[in-house]
Structure 1
Amino acid sequence: MTLDDTEVLIIGAGLAGLRCARVLRGAGRDVRVWEASDVIGGRVRTDVIDGFRCDRGFQVLNPAYPELKHATDVSALRLQPFGAGVAVRREANSAVWVHPLRAPTKVPAMLAGGGLGPRDVVAVGRWAAAALRPTALKAEGRHDTSLRSALDRAGVSGELRRVIDRFLAGVLLEDEGVTSNAFALLLVRMFVLGVPALPADGMQALPRQLATGLESLITLQRNVAELVRDGSGWRASDGTHGIRARHVVVATDPVSAARLAGVAAPPMHGVVTDWWAADEVPSGPPMLWVDGRSNPPGPVLNTAVISAAAPTYAPAGRHLIAASALMAKDGRAPDESVTRSHAAGILGGDGTRWSLVTRHLVPYALPEQPAPLSVRRPVHTADGIWVCGDHRDTASIQGALVSGRRTAEAILTTAS
């Protein structure tokens, strides 16, 4: 087996690995990227099926992520935003809870519509106030607790509590409220500053843009089977091809990183997302919908008529609906007919004529982020392997991009 040589080998072409490669390449370093899959992007992928764009596990991109503007040309992504706020299925009707900073004139009507009273506003303000001030957010991190405990302490209850719980369950991919409250507030801050959106070409557009100019350095379908010391550097092999590198960066999912680099893998949350095509859909705002009822008749965390917010996701004259639910720890997922019925009920329609485009089961969708929040985990192991990914920073696109840059900058410091 012949061996190639490079200064830095990056294993994994997800967001963190691509960001790391771009920073290193921009500094003039010799870099190679090996990716086990047949396409770049890691967990951020888009399947195009019969003209429908279906992201692997429903994802959105928040343009308020600070690292995004440093890592990408956001305007080139041609973002299509959802409505600012959330639509709520109630016991007898539905309600739209608007983003108060983006639609202040609609706030009085929202409050008059029921479900939100002065006491609720005070309670949620008490909980979320720290998200608006960076210094307060840092202080919250020093006294971090679980999201559930923080909401209890603030007195958030009733329908408002159910909506917050279910909305955040769809973001955090856990419905027990055990996630770090400081992390939840970081996300709330991003929702305050930006409106989630979808790129015109699907979420895959993000890793594709990160890979621009790196195409000749990326080799697909190279699954590293062996990683061993080779003098002062490393030797990696997929059983057929080998490469020597002074530095190795493991930028894989946490489970693979544990195998290759010996770092502890955090517990992972799984999600199932169903995508349906329809000729007709219920009328309603182009928002994310959640079930605010006290006894929801199904497992759906959130649902949306995706094509209403992002027309490029469906062929002309057709509609695309998505709904997400949690996967059990043993990998089980609710039946598609169950999620379809629940999603249709949340949207206020009949899903019997929806046709399934695809179903995505993503068992390792998001690392657990427990309290107390640890924002910066080491990116260099005692054995000398570099590690990056959202499991080293925050469990988000922001965290993956920051981790990739942070690892590259550390390598440059070491190599200088």
Structure 2
Amino acid sequence: MLEPAYQADVVVVGAGIAGLTAAHRLTSAGITTAVLEAAPCPGGRMSTEKVDGFRLDRIGQLLNTAYPELSRTPGLDGLVLRPFAPGVLLHSDGRRRRAGAPAGGGSARGALHAVRALASAPRPPAALPRPLPRPRGGSSRGASVPRARAGAPLGTAVDQARLGAALTRIAHTPLERLLSRPEAPAGLALAARGVPARTVDGFLRPLLAALLCDPDLTSSSRCADLALRAFASGRLCLPEGGAEALPELLARALPPGALHTGVRVTSVATNAVTTAEHGVFRCRAVLVATDARSAAELLPGLRVPEFHPVTVVHHATDEPPETGASLLLDADRGGPVAHTAVVSQVDPSRAPAGRALVSSTVLGPPPPDLDTAVRIHLARLYGTSTARWETLAVHHCADAVPAMRPPHDLRRAVRLLAGLYVCGDHRDTSTVQGALHSGRRASAAILADLGATGPMHTAEPLRTAA
């Protein structure tokens, strides 16, 4: 028989970044905490595969230096961010044009230097890329606008000037005012604000597809505004060494013996967690910090959102395309790839010396013969042959990003009842920022309910079943 083998104040189920953040805050407050993870290592969807010296992210989430939780989360002091070149590259009508970058922002190669996450100050407001204002009148509401002419994916010079001014304003808009705007699907909200269709299709749609994995712009307009505000206030970037850098840093900050991998949780209660391998963990509170679908299996009645599927295709080449450290978006939607980058030019640690890593993201269900379709599309986007590129890995995740369709509660409850809590990006926004913030909210709720004044139990070593 399996017998109870561990006691702690709090048991956290799941070692993604939300659960690890909460665990770190709890242990820092003197609460003994056990983190149980079914996988062999922490991180959840923020995992990195190693293949022949390459570091390949599973879903390739973008970070932003403007995410507040990157600087507020204990344990991330050692995080190093590698920024993309300012703005993004747009491919439209056979040409590539930079958009969203400050005037005189320099070349793409100028962004290759490393920056510490906590020392990376956002650019001064006047030197930032910029999102959407509230409309004044809205003259083109719902109107059909012809595509921009070749070589001008952002429309006319007047359109570009208006977009720049709009992004500047949203960078300075207080969050309270931003979140008080009427909520609608992002695409409809942009049209209602009078944003020209050519600006939406030529810039905002491909940009929001990269930021929210939602090329159809069905996400809540408030979530879209938050994403555009972050784009306007900071720099898109990647964690040095791969996505796993975040969970690894958080895991290393926990006390020895707090994290247990390879432990499958089968049921939870307010004062106990039952596992397949180690019996019952007795505790005073349980925090379920898994993905939304797994959380609903442990917590019947919990809402399961829809998801945006994401497929990431990794290629190696000895002759990288000449785009520098840029994020390249397809404004034409002329193939399966939504965005792509030579990520080894952003973060050199992701590829062995003398080789380059190209990572490309496909949104929605992948097409048949995915690799061939992606190669054809990449050849057009980069303007070079991809026939000799080596396919390193294809990572498909059907539940990669929870959909945030309106009405979307940005602060979904993390306290279900006294002793039972839940956190994750499905309780906040579907971003790294949202996952970290939900972990902070959950730990604060637990500490308030426990009236934490110091350790309540002494953690015991984990024993295996007989």
What's the CA shift for 1:72?
Answer: 4.7
Q: Are 2:103 and 2:127, in contact at CA under 8 Å, matched by a contact in 1?
A: no
- Superposed CA offset, 1:9-48 (max 9, x none): 0000001000000000000001000001111011111111
Question: Which is worse superposed, 208-217 or 157-166?
Answer: 157-166
Q: Are 1:6 and 1:246, in contact at CA under 8 Å, matched by a contact in 2?
A: yes
- Determine the C-alpha separation between the residues in 1 that align with 2:369 and 2:444: 43
Which residue in the other structure is 1:39 paired with? 41
Q: Are 2:210 and 2:339, in contact at CA under 8 Å, matched by a contact in 1?
A: yes
What's the CA shift for 1:130?
Answer: 5.8
Which residue in the other structure is 1:414 paired with? 449
Q: Are 1:252 and 2:284 an aligned pair?
A: no
- Superposed CA offset, 1:131-150 (max 9, x none): 32343763454411111012
Q: Are 1:282 and 2:284 an aligned pair?
A: no
Q: Name which of 305, 313, 319 aligns with 2:342.
A: 305
Q: Are 1:222 and 2:263 an aligned pair?
A: yes
Which residue in the other structure is 2:238 paired with? 198
Which residue in the other structure is 2:438 paired with? 403
Which residue in the other structure is 1:314 paired with? 351
Q: Are 1:267 and 2:302 an aligned pair?
A: no
What's the CA shift for 1:271?
Answer: 0.2
Which residue in the other structure is 1:355 paired with? 390
What's the CA shift for 1:234?
Answer: 2.2
1:6 counterpart letter in structure 2 = A
Question: Which is worse superposed, 246-255 or 391-400?
Answer: 391-400
Identity of aligned residues (%): 33
Q: Are 1:276 and 1:321, in contact at CA under 8 Å, matched by a contact in 2?
A: yes
- Determine the C-alpha separation between the residues in 2 that align with 1:387 and 1:65: 22
**How many pairs align?**
405
Give the SS at the match of 2:231.
Answer: helix
Question: Which is worse superposed, 269-278 or 319-328?
Answer: 319-328
Q: CA RMSD in A?
A: 2.5
Give the SS at the match of 2:9.
Answer: strand
Q: Name which of 140, 145, 148 aligns with 2:184.
A: 145
Q: Are 1:225 and 1:239, in contact at CA under 8 Å, matched by a contact in 2?
A: no
Give the SS at the match of 2:257.
Answer: helix
Q: Name which of 317, 326, 331 aligns with 1:292.
A: 331
Give the SS at the match of 1:210.
Answer: helix
Which residue in the other structure is 2:101 paired with? 99
- Superposed CA offset, 1:167-215 (max 9, x none): 2112212222110111111111111221122222211111111112324
- Determine the C-alpha separation between the residues in 2 that align with 1:148 and 1:106: 24
What's the CA shift for 1:363?
Answer: 1.1
1:284 counterpart letter in structure 2 = T
Q: TM-score, normalised by structure 1?
A: 0.90
- Determine the C-alpha separation between the residues in 1 that align with 2:77 and 2:23: 22
- Determine the C-alpha separation between the residues in 2 that align with 1:121 and 1:35: 48
Q: TM-score, normalised by structure 2?
A: 0.81
* Structure 1 unpaired stretches of 5+: 108-112
- Determine the C-alpha separation between the residues in 2 that align with 1:166 and 1:387: 32
What's the CA shift for 1:96?
Answer: 1.8
- Determine the C-alpha separation between the residues in 2 that align with 1:89 and 1:101: 19
Cα distance, 1:78–1:24 mapped onto 2, change above 3 Å: same
Which residue in the other structure is 2:204 paired with? 164
Q: Are 2:314 and 2:358, in contact at CA under 8 Å, matched by a contact in 1?
A: yes
Question: Which is worse superposed, 346-355 or 9-18?
Answer: 346-355
- Determine the C-alpha separation between the residues in 1 that align with 2:334 and 2:33: 51
Cα distance, 1:333–1:251 mapped onto 2, change above 3 Å: farther
Question: Which is worse superposed, 334-343 or 25-34?
Answer: 334-343
Cα distance, 1:243–1:79 mapped onto 2, change above 3 Å: same
Cα distance, 1:333–1:174 mapped onto 2, change above 3 Å: farther
Q: Name which of 85, 88, 97 aligns with 1:86.
A: 88
Which residue in the other structure is 1:51 paired with? 53
- Determine the C-alpha separation between the residues in 1 that align with 2:331 and 2:163: 16
